[in-house]
Structure 1
């Protein structure tokens, strides 16, 4: 994909509807991996997403107006908390996730964050590969109430 065809823009509350649709489409694969549709990205409501997007440091990726990817982030002191990276299934593997992470990390730096943290399920091998390839390193694993082990990763933003 030519770099000039993909726009990376700050996420806005008005993006909530498209973000919800994209998120649900992208997380279906995760639901299959974990044999459960009872995961927050699939149960989150439009109103919850819209409220979350107020003062959010996240970004969206658009090509010819179509939202191809989205990621949310917020600053917690000097820590950037990154979440809900979602890429449309038909364009996964084109580098959009890496571009979104790079953009959101820059927004975090601009907001004074010195380190970034995200998490994914331990069976989400493609996610773990992406995060490690973009400089994230595992810091801890936490057993969830649902029996799914969450892998937390961090990356310095210096």
Structure 2
């Protein structure tokens, strides 16, 4: 149930909580790929602060005062590159990831023609979430550590105010 979860733009003061949730969420991926050096796990607090202070769209999901998830989007021309979607492990499976994805898409709507993201090619839950949200696998490539990634895209439907 996500009724008591609010999603709003994150601020620099959220950096520590975002990093904590991100690291906890990506530990499962690290175990799946036997790789403790996934970029979301090695990102520093200063790097998170820089993302929050820069041109990147960063949203945070909160249940009460607790930060339970976050997502980022970097705009590059007509594409929003979505990344670092993370939900606290004890909050996963409650629709928060889908709501964060919808919220970041909404925040970028009207400014981009498509959304792009990637996830581990063996990450069935992630691939399922993205497929349900209209993303399609367009390619595969290895990451810097040799893990196979699925590259996904979604065409941004134009807004209709009619």
Partner residue in 1 for 2:15: 16
Aligned pairs for 1:65-104 (under 5 A) are 65-104=65-104
TM-score, structure 1 normalization: 0.94
Partner residue in 1 for 2:154: 155
Unaligned runs of 5+ in 2: 158-162
Partner residue in 2 for 1:41: 40
Please state if 1:26 is matched with 2:25.
Answer: yes
Say whether the 8 Å CA contact 1:121–1:148 is kept in structure 2.
yes
- Alpha-carbon separation, structure 2, partners of 1:138 and 1:53: 28
Q: CA deviation at 1:21?
A: 0.4
User: Considering only aligned residues, what root-mean-square deviation do their CA atoms show, in Å?
Assistant: 1.1
- Alpha-carbon separation, structure 2, partners of 1:39 and 1:7: 28
Q: CA deviation at 1:120?
A: 0.5
- Alpha-carbon separation, structure 1, partners of 2:21 and 2:144: 26
Partner residue in 2 for 1:134: 133
- Alpha-carbon separation, structure 2, partners of 1:87 and 1:62: 10
Q: CA deviation at 1:113?
A: 1.1
Say whether the 8 Å CA contact 1:60–1:71 is kept in structure 2.
yes
Unaligned runs of 5+ in 1: none
**Tell me, what secondary structure is at the counterpart of 1:41?**
helix
TM-score, structure 2 normalization: 0.92
Q: CA deviation at 1:2?
A: 5.0
Runs (4+) of structure 1 exceeding 4 A deviation are none
